[in-house]
Each structure stands twice: as structure tokens, then as C-alpha cells.
Structure 1
Amino acid sequence: MAFEGLSERLQAAVSTASKKGKITEADLKQMMREVRLALLEADVNYKVVKQFVRKVNERALGSNVLEALSPTQQVVKIVNEELTELMGGEQVGLNISKQPPTVIMMVGLQGAGKTTTAGKIANYVHKNNHLRPLLIAGDVYRPAAIDQLQTIGEQLDYPVYQEGTSVDPVTIVEHGLEQAKNDGRDLVIIDTAGRLHVNEALMTELKRIKAIANPDDILLVVDAMTGQDAVNVAQAFNDDLGITGLVLTKLDGDTRGGAALSMREITGKPIKFIGQGEKLTDIDLFYPDRMASRILGMGDMMTLIEKAQQDFDEQEAEKMAEKIKENTFDFNDFIAQMDQVSSMGPIEDLIKMIPGMNKIPGLDQVQVDPKDMARMKAIVLSMTPEERENPDILSQNRRKRIARGSARPLMEVNRMIKQFNQSKQMMNQMANGNMDGMEQMMNGIPGAKMSKRNQLAMKAVSRKMKKAKKKRLKKKK
């Protein structure tokens, strides 16, 4: 997980302070020392660290404690706000041109993931902004770069403009833009060449492409795992090209993530996207406030909800919701839902987005083995169609037969059926606007008691669900 080391250290510093009723200047000094060490160990630039700690310290010492907050909560609030500000303050999207086509120029060093990211962004913009992309293969130096882009284009069903490796990239870009206008394409993404390091020849070529393409966005693609050197790279590209935004790749493989914090602060340019996986759908908009909340262990429900909206089939989800409300949710639905949840990413990462779940002892060690999902499927597939549709008829004799058929212990079969029944009951409560099921689940886990803030959030969600239910009933009438 991105920022994992930073998250652990900051949460430890905050939890130490939160055990005290009041915070003295000495306590604050110790907390700031822990925050400083956490940021430095996460590979954040030391100048950025110094400035961040100074801001938090000044605000904490000079702030009046709000009536509704304890002193420790006030400090956490300040750290959260300053961390959000450090990462950009608010989410910044792409510069979509009013006069199509919108042109996006991808730049960066070799190995950062420019070509794959070009495909990911094309896919994202097509789905969310309904633009029709054309990809231009402007990297004529790296072996197989053109083939890679064409393969991506075929997978996404987007055209790729290329003229081979013997033509000047500037000419290719010029012809590609003409092709886009002729074909009525309103999004052009230019994949440019990279080098192993920043040099004059690379920058000269990129400047020539910029002059001919007049891009709406120049996105610097940076490998988050390159550490502090990524900051120097970002500074160099920004000085020569005037980049408009950053894209961080391989964020799922870097537990530190400090370079991301440093780049935004030093270049003054927003992080627009983050890549966290190999699939062409594994790209997300970067929300500084949400990331700050995740780093401090406050969860990220908005991203979780958006992931569900993106990955769940709307019609299927509606059918599923009706089944849950009518209490007819069965094992066939359970398998279908399990497949959809798996498509959203590692379950342990999804769990951490739920507020309060970070407080559960040992959650940081949770690893959901895909084989466990396969075993659960085997158990369900060993049931007869009648048993899957009517879980209530699963007698002990039937369970023994299912255990033999799935080659799983009887205890495991019983446990899964019990979990299914509990989940079914809780989902039924929530679908009917009663959030007590979620609250009871949270309060039943040691250390995961819901805060007042989360209880209020749950009640707000409950009210919205009840309103939505009334609207559906009116439509049916």
C-alpha cells in the first residue's frame, strides 16, 4: 500500500498523544519529532519536512481548541489539513479543451510507465468524459514502444497513429493531429520518448513536439519507487517544459511514497492521477484530502463508493439490492457479488478505506488470499441448484455432503454458511435504511468502536437511503 510506512508512523505519533486528556508543549514537541522522523523515513524532501512541521507546530500552539474537540483531536485536525495542503489542497482534473481535440502530451523517463499510462488515461477519459481518443506513437527510439501502444489500442478499441521508427517524432505528431481532426476524434494522447536520465537531446525534442501540438496538458509520468531522484526529474521537466500535472505510477509497490509529497510542494504542479496496478483500469484521480485521511487512518469512504460505482454493473446492482431488501439473497448472488468485489482490488485495501477499521488490532497484517475466495466458491459450487437458491434447507447431512464434494473441512463449510447468514441479515437492515447493522458490527470488534463523527455519517447515509427508497416506491406506483 502507498504511504504505508508514513501512515504507520504518523498514526503511532497521533495515538500516543490521544491517550492523554491534555497536550502540553512538551507533548507537542515530542509529537512533532515523531512526525518529522515519519516524513523523513518516508523519503520526503528535508526542506518540505521542515516547512510542514513548522506550520503544524505554529498552528497547534496558536490555535484555540474548538468546543466540540479535545486538544488531541484539534492537533490531528491540523495535521490532516496541512497534509492535505501539502499534497495540493484539492483535486485538479484534466484541462479539457472547449475547442476539440483535447491534446495530452505524456512525458517522462524510460521505465516510468508512460505508454501504459497513456492507455489508462485514454480509457479513463473515454469512460468519464465520453471523449473519443486517438493515441499517437511518438516514441521511435525504445524497442517495441510502438507495438506496445498498438496492443493497448487494440485492447481498448482505440485507433493508434504511427509511422514507424524512421520518421521524425515531430512529423508523426503533426500528421497524427491532422488524422484526429479528419476522423472527428476529440481526445489526442501523445506518447513521447524517454531516456534513462534527463538530457538536452530529449528536452529539445519534447520542446519541438510541444510547439507543434500546443497541448492542453503536459503530464509528467513518474515512477513513485524512484525516491528522491524523482523530485529532481520533476524539477528538470518543469523548468524546461512547464508541465501542467504529475502522474504517479507503481504507487501500489511503494510503502513510503514521500517523493509524491515532495514533488507537489517543490514543482507547485498538482498530482492529477495515480496508477496502482497493471490493468488498464488501474488508474484513479488523486484527491489530496482523501489520501491525507487514509494516511492518518481515517478511512476513505468516497473512493470506496466510487470504486463500487465504477466496477459494479448498475442493472445487476439494482437486482441485487431488490433481492437484499426482499431477503431473497442466495448463494448464487453471493458468488456474483464476490466476483464483483474482487474486481475492485485487494480486499485488505478496501477494508482500510472504511473509517475506524484501522483501529482493529492486527488489521495491518490482514492478507486475503485469493485461494480463500476459490475455496469458498468450491463450497458453493458443491451445493445443488436448490441448495444455492434456498440456503435455509442446508441440514447437517447436506453440509457433510458439501464438505466432501468441495474437499473442505465440515467446520469451514459451517463457518462460511454462518458468515453468509450474518451478512445477509446485516445487508437487509442496511438496504432498508437501518444502519444499526453496520454500527453493531463495528462496535462488536475490539478497538473499532465508531466515533461520534462516523455515527453521524452513518445516520446521514441512512437518511439518504430512506429517501431513495421512497422515490423508488413512488415510481412503481
Structure 2
Amino acid sequence: MFENLSRRLQQTLDGLRGRGRIGEADLKKVMREIRMSLLEADVNFEVAKAFTKRVQEKALGQKVYESLTPAEQIYTIVYDELKELLGSEPKQPELKHEGNVWFLVGLQGTGKTTAAGKLARLYKSKGRRPLLVAADTQRPAARDQLRILAEQVGVPVLEVQNGEKPAETARRLREHLAKDYRDLVIVDTAGRLQIDEALMDELAQLKDELEPTETLLVVDAMMGQEALGVSRTFDERIGVSGLILTKLDGDARGGAALSARYVTGKPIYFGGTSEKLDGLEPFYPDRLAQRILGMGDIQTLMERAQAAELEEPDKAPHEFDLNDLLAQMKQIQKMGSMTELIKMIPGLSRALPQNFQLDPKATKHLEAIIQSMTPAERRNPRILNASRRRRIARGSGTSVQEINRLIKTFEETKGMMKTLAKSPRKRRGFFGRR
């Protein structure tokens, strides 16, 4: 997500680097290029026009064209406006001591049902007692899916019956809560392939009866221009308090993420980062703005490391062997896609080629190579002569060249760890946790 937009913006702004001053005409040209970058990323024209207008007004107000460092100043202005466009400050749904009812709405196929399961998992881990309500009577598979998700999360589910009136649903919900106390009710509602009057009327009636404390619009980040109309209609007809963006890990151009919040004026609470149940994260406008501009996202990287509970190595750095390398590789895999993690490292995303993707099979090959070694070979790779390497290549289904590359990488990693061990500011842990 956002690769093309990120690449275009970085190229445009990097074109200013090294220039002592730029003229006002040059500044307007840069704004046109930024606007085109946004439009190509499927950002709505209204949003793109307003964004570049604000950037240009700020740049002219600060007389950037007279500055000795125009590139740095424009970078700062673009970053600030991107962050503002995405919501400025991170926000989360209102969560009272009890009586929380969250009403999920959106078109069919946006990921509402999966989002409901993810929310239940997330808040159960925080000590809450969620209840899922399967209120999508239009698509029977949705109720089956929510039931499966509820079992995986370990929470109950209340199923709305076909033909059941909203008032009856509200009554059954009250009875259920009286018997089984729950402090967070997450309602998965019906969707359509497109907005129609019947859908809006149905949702409005159910909302009136359930009186939710939050109404969350689930938007597919891959929708593009369509997201603007969908978001505006749901907000006008139903009333939206916040957004959940799904499929942020996809390969779409990302325009929905930049358009939906602008159109509704409502905060983006969460972003879906994978289809797994743990693939839902709080949305941070500043972090996404940093990633779009190639600044990396070290905060999210550190949080994922902590969430994955990466263990401290059992051995001192000078004893580091291939068993340790294999163990650390498996730990890092808990944090998500290696390609995504690499792009979170400040500076690296700017140096990577366009559409960079790290082959997930590469890690599997490395595992196969190490697992094909004897315990002695793992402890001391220096004993790997030519015949041993040929045997390992046959056993792992790889080549001698791949084994050579692995050993070279291992030796470089080992040397780096020895250097860190000698540092007076030595840090423990894979990501520097003390």
C-alpha cells in the first residue's frame, strides 16, 4: 500500500535537494507534481486539490522559495499536512466501564465480519468481556463466519434470526446481557454490493433500537475513488463516529485511506494489517505520514517486537551460532511480513528499488539449509567443507551457492554482534531492549 504514492512524492521532493533557492514558479510546479501523485494514487480530486492548496499557502507564507533549505522546509510542510489529512492525532473509540455497543457498518466485502472478530480479540486481550452479534441476515455465510471467529477468540455470539425486527433484536440482546454480563457488544451488520435505500433504512432502524455508543464505518482501503461516495453517504444517512480501514497490507494505491477521513471528518481508529485475527492495529496518522515520505516507522517496529515477545538470546554474542540465527529468524516472523518490516526502518525504504518485495520463500530456504546440518555443523560452521556443503544442498533442496551466501550472512551478523558487545553502551535483545 502507498508504494507508488510514496515513490512519486519522494522523487518530487528529492528533486529540490541541493538547490540553494527555488523560485515561486518552481514551487507551483512542485505542487502540480504532488497533486498528480495524489490523483494517481486514487486520492479524490477534491481531496488532492485541497491538500496541495494548503501546502502551497503554507510554503508561500513561510517564504520557502527564499530559504536556503527549501527541500527540508517543504518536506516538513508536506509531512505536517499529510498527518493532518490522516487525522493529526491518534484516537480510539470511546470505551466506558460498561454499556459499550459498537455498530459496524459498510458495504459487503469490506471486511466487517473479520473486523468484528479482530476487535473482539484485541479487547479481550485488554481485559474486556466482548459479545459478538451476528446481525447480517442478508448473507448466511456471514453468521457462520462470525461464529467461527467467535470460537477462535473464545467469546460468545448472539445470532439475529431471519425476519427478526430490530426491536426484537434489542430485547434479546438485553436478555442475553442480563444472563451473561458483557461490557463490550460488537454488532456485525448487513452490507450490500452497493448502497441502496433498503440497506440504509434497515441499518437506521437497528441503530435506533440498539443505541450504539460508537458507529464504525469499515472501509476497504483498496476501494479507491468509490470510498469517498460510500463514506459520505454512510455518514449522512447513518452517522459515523469513526473509521476502520481494512486491507492496508494490500497492493492498491491507497487513495481511500487519504480520502475517507477527509470526507467524513471522523477519525480513523484502526487499520487492518493482515487477514489474521491479530492483524488489527491502532491507526497513527504521524506514522503513516512518515512511511509515505520514506521516513520509516521505528515506533511500530518496536511495538511489534514487543508484541511478538522476542526472547533474549541464550548465549553471549561471541558464542552466537546458526542455532541462534534460526531461532531469531523464527521470532522475527512473528512480527509480520519481512518486506513490510524492512520498509519501517528509517532510510531503507528510500533506498529500496520500486515495487521491492522480499521473497517469503527465501526464509524457508534458509531454515531448510540450517535444519539439514548436523548439531556440530550448526555450532561451528567453519567445519563446512565442500563435501559437507554439497550434502546439505541435496538435503535441503537448495544449491551450494545459497549455502555460501547463508554462511557469509551469518559471519557478518556474528561480527556485528561482537562489535555491539564491545560497545560501552551495550544493549541486550534483538531490537535493543535493555
Question: What's the TM-score once normalised by structure 1's chain length?
Answer: 0.84
SS of match in other structure, 2:57: helix
The amino acid of 2:373's aligned partner reads: M
AA of the residue aligned to 1:106: L
2:114 paired with 1:116 = yes
The 5 A counterparts of 1:377-416 are 377-416=367-406
Please list the CA deviations of residues 196-243 of structure 1 after superposition, one character each: whole Å capped at 9, or x if unmatched: 222332222222222232222110011222222221111111112221
Deviation sequence 1:75-129 (CA, Å, 0-9, x none): 100000011001110111121113x1422111111111111110011112222x3
Partner amino acid for 2:22?
A: I
Which amino acid in the other structure matches residue 63 of structure 1?
Q
Whole-Å separation in 2 of the counterparts to 1:202 and 1:131: 31
Given residue 243 of structure 1, which amino acid in structure 2 is its aligned partner? V
2:401, 2:131 → 1: CA distance?
A: 55
Deviation at 1:430, TM superposition (A): 4.4
Residue 406 of structure 1 and its aligned partner are, at CA, apart by 2.5
Partner of 1:370: 360
My pick for the range that moved more, 180-189 or 103-112, is 180-189
The alpha-carbon deviation at position 326 of structure 1 amounts to: 4.2
Partner Cα distance (1:7, 1:181) in 2: 51
Q: 1:398 to 1:274 in 2, by over 3 A?
A: same
2-side partners of 1:32 and 1:102: how far apart?
45
Aligned twin of 1:455: none
Closer/same/farther in 2, CA of residues 350 and 432 from structure 1, 3 Å limit: farther
Once the two structures are TM-superposed, the CA of residue 391 in structure 1 deviates from its matched residue by: 3.8
Structure 1 residue 377, shift from structure 2 partner: 1.2
Q: Is residue 138–residue 169 contact of structure 1 (8 Å, CA) maintained in 2?
A: no
Instruction: Tell me if the contact between 2:134 and 2:143 (Cα under 8 Å) persists in the aligned partners.
Output: yes
How many residue pairs match? The answer is 431
Please point out which of 191, 194, 203 is paired with 1:206: 203
Q: Judge which range, 337-346 or 174-183, deviates more.
A: 174-183
Return the letter of the residue paired with 1:386.
A
- SS state of the match for residue 328, structure 2? helix
Find the aligned partners of 2:209 and 2:59 in 1 and give their Cα distance. 50
Which 10-residue stretch deviates more, 244-253 or 326-335?
Answer: 326-335
TM-score, normalising length from structure 2? 0.91
Root mean square deviation of aligned Cα: 2.6
> Is residue 369 of structure 2 the alignment partner of residue 351 of structure 1?
no
Structure 1 residues 269-308: aligned runs within 5 Å: 269-308=266-305
- 1:264 paired to 2:264: no
Structure 2 counterpart of 1:171: 168
Distance apart, 1:411 and its partner CA: 2.6
Residue number among 416, 422, 433 corresponding to 1:426 in the alignment: 416
1:336 matched to 2:332? The reply is no
Tell me the distance in 1 between the aligned counterparts of 2:309 and 2:245: 28
2:306 to 305, 309, 318: 309
Structure 1: distance between partners of 2:131 and 2:422: 45
In the superposition, relative to structure 1, how do residues 365 and 234 fare at CA in structure 2: closer, same or farther (>3 Å)? Answer: closer
Instruction: Note the C-alpha offset of 1:400.
Output: 4.0
Contact 2:270 2:282 (C-alpha < 8 Å) held by counterparts: yes
Equivalent residues of 1:139, 1:169 under 8 A apart: no
Contact 2:317–2:421 (CA<8 Å) still a contact in 1? no
Tell me which amino acid in the other structure corresponds to 1:105: F
Distance in 2 separating the partners of 1:134 and 1:4? 37
Q: Is the Cα–Cα contact under 8 Å of residues 174 and 213 in structure 1 kept in the other structure?
A: no
AA aligned to 1:25 is: E
Distance 1:197 1:403 in 2: 54
Q: Which amino acid aligns with 1:36?
A: R
Measured in 2, the distance between the counterparts of 1:421 and 1:412 equals: 14
CA distance in 1, matches of 2:293, 2:178: 47
1:197 alignment partner, SS class = coil
Greater mean alpha carbon deviation, residues 289-298 or residues 24-33 = 24-33
Are residues 1:125 and 2:123 paired?
Answer: yes
Structure 1 residue aligned with 2:62: 63
**In the alignment, what sits opposite 2:142?**
145
Distance 2:419 2:175 in 1: 57
Shift of 1:61: 1.6
SS of 1:225's equivalent in the other structure is: coil
SS at match of 2:188: strand
Letter in 2 for 1:354: I
- 1:163–1:365: structure 2 CA closer, same or farther, 3 Å change rule? closer
CA contact (8 A) 2:389 2:400 kept: yes
Kindly state the Cα deviation for residue 49 of structure 1 after the two structures are TM-superposed: 1.6
Residues of 2 paired with 1:432 and 1:204: CA distance? 68
- 1:107 is matched with 105
The aligned counterpart of 2:2 is: 3
CA distance in 1: counterparts of 2:160 and 2:230, whole angstroms = 29
Q: Deviations over 1:23-75 (max 9, x none)?
A: 2222212111100111111122222222211111111122166xx98221011
Query: Quick one: which amino acid aligns to residue 371 of structure 1?
Result: K
Distance 1:101 1:336, change over 3 A: farther
Q: Tell me which amino acid in the other structure corresponds to 1:279.
A: K
1:17 match: secondary structure: coil
Contact 1:93-1:272 at 8 Å conserved across structures:
yes
Give the C-alpha shift of residue 277 in structure 1.
2.3
How far, CA to CA, are the matches of 1:69 and 1:187 in structure 2?
Answer: 55
Counterparts of 1:240-251 in structure 2, within 5 Å, are 240-251=237-248
Secondary structure at 1:18's aligned position in 2?
Answer: coil
Give the SS at the match of 1:8: helix
Distance change (3 Å), C-alpha of 1:229 and 1:407 = closer
Alignment partner, residue 225 of structure 2: 228
The answer as to 2:357 corresponding to 1:360 is no
Identical aligned residues as a percent: 49
Please give the alpha-carbon distance, in whole angstroms, between the structure 2 residues aligned to 1:113 and 1:178. 29
* Per-residue CA distance 1:162-202 (angstroms, 9 max, x = gap): 15334335423442344235322222101111122223322
- 1:337 partner letter: Q
Q: Secondary structure at the match of 1:265?
A: helix
Letter aligned with residue 104 of structure 1: W
Greater Cα offset, 114-123 or 343-352: 343-352
Q: Report how far residue 425 of structure 1 moved.
A: 2.9
